[in-house]
Amino acid sequence: MWGNIIIDDSGNIKSHVGKNLFTTIKREQYERIQQLRIDLVDLFIKHFTQNSLSQELLKVREYIQSNTDAICKELNDYKENKNWKEFNDLLY
């Protein structure tokens, strides 16, 4: 069937695009396109807004995702001790 998209074990994307035609997008190419997209968005943000760059936001997201348990424990400790200033500072 035409239009089938398959992601193989190495992360490459393969697709049937015609009668006897197939295409492959290598994982490295996909990752590079994603990085270029982020860079382009950051370029517009940097020159036309006062917002944080998406690169910075992605780093924050990765930090939060990798430290969720520690952050939640620290928030609970602040909450139990009614230390609202540090609780709010950690959130923001």
What digits encode the pLDDT tens for the residues 16-64? 888 888 889 899 998 999 899 988 888 888 888 887 778 888 888 888 8
Domain count, the chain: 2
- Same domain flag for 13 and 44: yes
pLDDT tens digit sequence for 60-76 = 888 888 988 888 898 88
Q: Tell me the C-alpha distance between 75 and 88, whole Å.
A: 9
Structural domain that includes position 88: 57-92
Cα–Cα distance measured from residue 33 to residue 24, given in angstroms and rounded to the nearest whole number: 14
Do 46 and 24 lie in one domain? The reply is yes
Residue 22 and residue 7 share a domain: yes
The pLDDT score that the predictor gives to residue 26 is 92
Contact between residue 43 and residue 54 where contact means Cβ atoms under 8 Å apart: no
**65 shares its domain with 43:** no
